[in-house]
Structure 1
């Protein structure tokens, strides 16, 4: 699938869903706050090209750039652009090879994105390893941030290469996963079928906030393996293996937490019966948990824990984060905009330009452009979106609080050309936006 070609049915819509601002409405401050164009440009590159195009037409208009992300790829970059310090560490990649990954740190707050250490882009040669890929490197990044003094860790989920339920992540933070002979389990989701003992006695405490809008459960037809496994290279037979491993993992976690609640040896699951695992939850089987949700776990069954909304995020990392680390889910883009100070940057702006590679129905479900638009409207700004391609109707754009949308495919119908020439095409779109929305007041001399 090409980077901008999400699974959606294209629909006709004009390049501008609403009429441009009337003449005489001189814009004194423009904020450019886009997400990445996946497979083409980073968010910072998108913002730079848009700023260049605006300045060609209206050099007198102050322009600020603020790359954004919703918790997936580019989250660390967005934090660094807003004043966080980039910190690098050598950690375990998804295949076990060392990789250099980065997190962002400001004061006692660290921002970590799973894709940095355990993402698809970290696979050597792009070769998918659905059964053995591990989240361990993300846990090592969290440990590095804690060692650097972080008292709050914001974890962005997205772009992960693994389906190990977060087992590798918690191992890096001190948990032990052993087989029936007391040996450490190999990495990956498939090995979880042989899990015999889960020892949480050495697990570090992590003040964790999970920035994600995913609400899938761990197991079942809407779970981590069935929904996201194929994107990571899992074939039908692999999905059955991963589902069995995740089910056994859920049983082990439930037993370990029950042991903690009952005063047994700290967080030790004890022996699991061979083949014992919870049945896959039904498509509608979910435990209730409100927004800003946290789980805990003591006293809950494996089925209840597996059904927690968000447990299936990032190959099941959401499950480990909720149940074993006491993490709290927060809506990705809304939380990150608040953390990065979007309201202050948008204050006084009359126009905010946002965007992403594909503006479609998925954009309406917690993606960056809609989150930016809603926050910008609260600040009193008009909102324009840019995209590589778009399929949203004018009515959908209005409901998303977007005043107008411009697509590269309006200028160049061939998607491959749009991807290859995204930068210059964005500059041309920005020139059009400047002409439509930044009309100088008649009393103001033209530059």
Structure 2
């Protein structure tokens, strides 16, 4: 039997590589002769660097960059093992988790460190960047990133704007650098699973600003400022980012990456599937095992387990998903590629216990999944 094991993380309990190992142990307990290809997965959010480095036998790198409020932070990113692709998480440089609750202020927080991280990866020879943009502390439309890449954001007196979305209302013009650090041939792919535009009631400020510390007054100001940024970008850079689906992601960083870095916004799990060459690794497999912390109605819209299983179904390979919890509407995933799903919990159990025993429970559930699969395949 040949299997591909391709889970996402079980948040708070197991990283994707740890989940893959636990599932491999479950398979081996039933079929020690099975050929197993472990392919830790992600959807572009937290854990993407860890998963892709493990799945491709890559390596990690570190760089000191500006944090959201300007203090230096040590950010980790990955270099994949099968080429010159770097995988970055903007949260490592510009993430909300880097800012204490009492200091959260999206009028001041900047994406400069994310731009510096991109520059560092390119300086190390990367010609392809995969960037996950979840978990941001910022609402600056990628202005800080643009400044890190050499763009000058100037007021009417020719002075550089201060960091953060709060100063964008004074933006008068943008001057592009003579030579961009993103040279021809460098590709920037952005893992983006939201469709919010840059501005308006569904835009970056209104939808995500409050969770970053924005008051209602700040939200109105930040939204006006992003609208100003969109106007100047359209005039000076000839790029219209206002209505691009996903431009509002990460406080407008989605739009900023298009404007300042030529980035392309794509569904996160699709980027990861391509990066780990999952299609090639599924060739000839008898079964695909995937999983993540929870399956529910929302899982059908771009979650890792569904993305993996959809590809497996396309290739005629059954896929079983294992999850920590099965939520309302989870049956929708059966229409999207998952052949069957199972909870790893053996009965009523507290969340704390499930998290603590995650590896053990996942291993045991995998054993049962393999027994069920073999029973169906081996029947006369």
TM-score norm. by structure 1 comes to: 0.76
Q: What does residue range 216-231 of structure 1 map to in structure 2 within 5 Å?
A: 216-231=196-211
Native 8 Å contact 1:58 1:438 kept in 2: no
Native 8 Å contact 2:192 2:254 kept in 1: no
Alpha-carbon shift at residue 439 of structure 1 (Å)? 4.3
Q: 2:269 is matched with which residue: 328, 333, 336?
A: 333
Corresponding residue for 1:361? 297
Change (3 A) 1:94 1:408: farther
Alpha-carbon shift at residue 212 of structure 1 (Å)? 2.2
Q: What does residue range 295-310 of structure 1 map to in structure 2 within 5 Å?
A: 297=239, 300=240, 305-310=241-246
Q: Determine the C-alpha separation between the residues in 2 that align with 1:319 and 1:413.
A: 43
> Is it true that 1:93 corresponds to 2:29 in the alignment?
no
Task: Write out per-residue CA displacement over residues 373-426 of structure 1, whole angstroms, 9 at most, x where no aligned residue.
Answer: 011123332111122212254741320111111224553443343233322222
Farther off after superposition, 52-61 or 91-100: 52-61
Corresponding residue for 2:51? 78
Q: What does residue range 265-414 of structure 1 map to in structure 2 within 5 Å?
A: 297=239, 300=240, 305-391=241-327, 393=329, 395-409=331-345, 411-414=347-350
Q: Determine the C-alpha separation between the residues in 2 that align with 1:416 and 1:346.
A: 34
Corresponding residue for 2:123? 147
Unaligned runs of 5+ in 1: 1-27, 259-296
Change (3 A) 1:138 1:244: same
Q: 1:110 is matched with which residue: 86, 89, 98?
A: 86
Alpha-carbon shift at residue 86 of structure 1 (Å)? 1.8
Q: Determine the C-alpha separation between the residues in 2 that align with 1:429 and 1:232.
A: 38
Q: 2:232 is matched with which residue: 252, 257, 263?
A: 252
Report the secondary structure of 2:261's partner residue: coil
Report the secondary structure of 1:344's partner residue: helix
Q: Determine the C-alpha separation between the residues in 2 that align with 1:239 and 1:394.
A: 35
Alpha-carbon shift at residue 37 of structure 1 (Å)? 2.0
Change (3 A) 1:306 1:442: closer
Report the secondary structure of 1:343's partner residue: helix
Q: Determine the C-alpha separation between the residues in 1 that align with 2:146 and 2:216.
A: 27
Q: Relative contact order (C-alpha < 8 Å, sep 6+): which is higher?
A: 1
Q: Determine the C-alpha separation between the residues in 1 that align with 2:321 and 2:378.
A: 26
Native 8 Å contact 1:217 1:306 kept in 2: yes
Q: Determine the C-alpha separation between the residues in 2 that align with 1:63 and 1:126.
A: 47
Farther off after superposition, 129-138 or 52-61: 52-61
Alpha-carbon shift at residue 221 of structure 1 (Å)? 1.3
Unaligned runs of 5+ in 2: none
> Is it true that 1:59 corresponds to 2:36 in the alignment?
no
Alpha-carbon shift at residue 333 of structure 1 (Å)? 1.2
Native 8 Å contact 1:353 1:383 kept in 2: yes
Q: 2:4 is matched with which residue: 31, 42, 65?
A: 31
| Higher fraction of helix | 2
Report the secondary structure of 2:211's partner residue: helix
Native 8 Å contact 2:297 2:333 kept in 1: no
> Is it true that 1:242 corresponds to 2:219 in the alignment?
no
Change (3 A) 1:440 1:244: closer
Task: Write out per-residue CA displacement over residues 272-319 of structure 1, whole angstroms, 9 at most, x where no aligned residue.
Answer: xxxxxxxxxxxxxxxxxxxxxxxxx2xx5xxxx311112112211111
Structure ID, larger Rg:
1
Report the secondary structure of 1:91's partner residue: strand
Q: 2:133 is matched with which residue: 152, 157, 161?
A: 157
Native 8 Å contact 2:300 2:333 kept in 1: no
Native 8 Å contact 2:299 2:330 kept in 1: no
Change (3 A) 1:392 1:64: farther
Native 8 Å contact 1:165 1:246 kept in 2: yes
- Aligned CA-pair RMSD: 2.5
Count of residue correspondences: 372
Alpha-carbon shift at residue 140 of structure 1 (Å)? 0.7
Report the secondary structure of 1:411's partner residue: coil
Alpha-carbon shift at residue 180 of structure 1 (Å)? 4.1
Alpha-carbon shift at residue 95 of structure 1 (Å)? 2.4
Native 8 Å contact 2:311 2:337 kept in 1: no
Alpha-carbon shift at residue 181 of structure 1 (Å)? 4.1
Q: Determine the C-alpha separation between the residues in 2 that align with 1:316 and 1:131.
A: 13
Farther off after superposition, 223-232 or 387-396: 387-396
Change (3 A) 1:255 1:343: same
Alpha-carbon shift at residue 120 of structure 1 (Å)? 2.6
Alpha-carbon shift at residue 79 of structure 1 (Å)? 2.1
